[in-house]
Amino acid sequence: MTTRIIGTGSSIPNRKVTNDDLAKIMDTSDEWIYSRTGIHSRHLVEQETTTGMASDAAQKAMENAGVSPEEIDLIIVGTVSGDMCYPSTACLVQAKIGAVNAVAYDISAGCSGFLFALNTAHAYIQSGIYQCALVIGAETLSKMMDWNDRSTCVLFGDGAGAAIVKANNAGIRAITQHSDGAGGDVLVCSNRGSNNPFVTSDTKLDYTKMEGQEVFKFAVKMVPKCVQEVIEKAGLSVDDVDYFLLHQANKRIIESVSKRLKVSLDKFPTNIEHYGNTSAASIPILLDELNRKNTFQKGDIIVMSGFGAGLTWGATLLEW
């Protein structure tokens, strides 16, 4: 018994912000951003929230899968930008969609959040503990950006994507997950510091800080490795894979992975041009777009790979 994706959904905020829009409020240009990242525009929240977009994506995924909220027995949301410290985004989604029989909680794994959530759901399903799960990646990273730091804020966008997964004979064939906490200081966003009457602390809520080149080096080294690892675990070769769905962090990272794996870039669908880096939401948004275009044929082999803050990285290989 394994885990099959039986429905997908996504939700994008209305407000589209192009590179030219950014150039009106900071010293940047479409040429600089596009040539280094492949991003032309992103969508940023106005009234939308992480919970609202996650719930919207979840509703669409349930409709797509033909599953009722009562059938779901596990909800996991990968997010680092929930609307509340607690309750979790997953519990807020549970209430909104009426998944009264589900247990719900979040996973914090940066841009690997959706993939780690999917792999966790897979472990539960494989063990027989749960049968039907809702897995979501949802972020509003725009609220965690320093909009005076042009080297970082131009990269990110907001959005959510979701998948319904169910116990099935075909589906996920192999997973791999890794963390390197010691290397995590290249991509950080600090939370509240100590705040009780007996201590003084100068730690405060802060914005995202990234050493871009270090993150780039980490990604181009580790992603091809873990993709190869998951393919080997499944007993397949790189040529057996029909699609590689990578976290949409940067077009140049994706091009580098395709080169290192010696696989045509045609097998690496992208949408970063329109949405920027939506962190944990990027893989499920891309998955939903491709699913709704009927891109995948039954039996296609798909590798998804996420990487990001932690540091965390991993891959999942599945048969569609």
Is 195 tagged catalytic? no
Minimal distance in Å, beta carbon 122 to ligand ACO?
A: 22
Taking the complex as a whole, how short is the minimal distance between the CB of residue 228 and ligand ACO, in angstroms? 19
Q: Indicate whether 245 belongs to the interface with ligand ACO (CB under 6 A).
A: no
Q: Confirm or reject binding of residue 307 to ligand ACO (CB under 6 A).
A: yes
Give the nearer residue to ligand ACO in terms of CB position, either 33 or 57: 33
Q: Which is nearer to ligand ACO, 25 or 100 (CB)?
A: 25
Q: Does 281 bind ligand ACO (CB under 6 A)?
A: no
Asked if 161 is part of the footprint of ligand ACO (rule: CB under 6 A), the reply reads no
DSSP 123-139: HHHHHTS-SEEEEEEEE
Tell me the two tokens of residue 242. 């029909």
Q: Under rule CB under 6 A, which residues in 179-208 are in contact with ligand ACO?
A: 187
- Residue 268 is a binding residue for ligand ACO (CB under 6 A): no
Q: How far is 174 from 143, CA to CA, in rounded Å? A: 35
Give the whole-angstrom CA distance, residue 40 versus residue 189. Answer: 25
Q: Give catalytic status of residue 111 as yes or no.
A: yes
Which range binds ligand ACO by CB under 6 A, 31-39, 69-77, 79-87, 264-272? 31-39
Active site residue 178: no
| Shorter beta-carbon distance to ligand ACO: residue 74 or 77 | 77
Catalytic option among 111, 132, 189, 226: 111
Q: What are residue 156's DSSP bridge partners?
A: 277
19 interacts with ligand ACO by CB under 6 A: no
Instruction: Kindly give the pairing relationship between strand 187-188 and strand 103-107.
Output: unpaired
The dihedrals phi and psi of 243, each to the nearest 5 degrees, come to: -140, 140
Counting residues that bind ligand ACO (by CB under 6 A) gives 22
Report the alpha-carbon distance of residue 235 to residue 138 in Å, rounded: 32
Q: Cβ closer to ligand ACO: 33 or 167? A: 33
Catalytic pick from 189, 247, 250, 291?
Answer: 247
Give min distance, CB of 216 to ligand ACO, in A. 4
> 111, 133, 118, 134: which is closest to 318 by C-alpha?
118
Distance CA 280, CA 312 (A): 12
Is beta strand 187-188 parallel, antiparallel or unpaired with respect to 209-210? antiparallel
Minimum separation from the CB atom of position 210 to ligand ACO (A) = 6
Amino acid letter, 74: L
- Please pick, from the candidates 213, 239, 292, 300, the single residue that binds ligand ACO as defined by CB under 6 A: 213
Q: DSSP letter string over 155-192? A: TB--EEEEEEEEEESSSEEEEEEEE-GGGGGGEE----
Shorter beta-carbon distance to ligand ACO: residue 57 or 283: 283
Which residues participate in catalysis according to the annotation?
A: 111, 247, 277
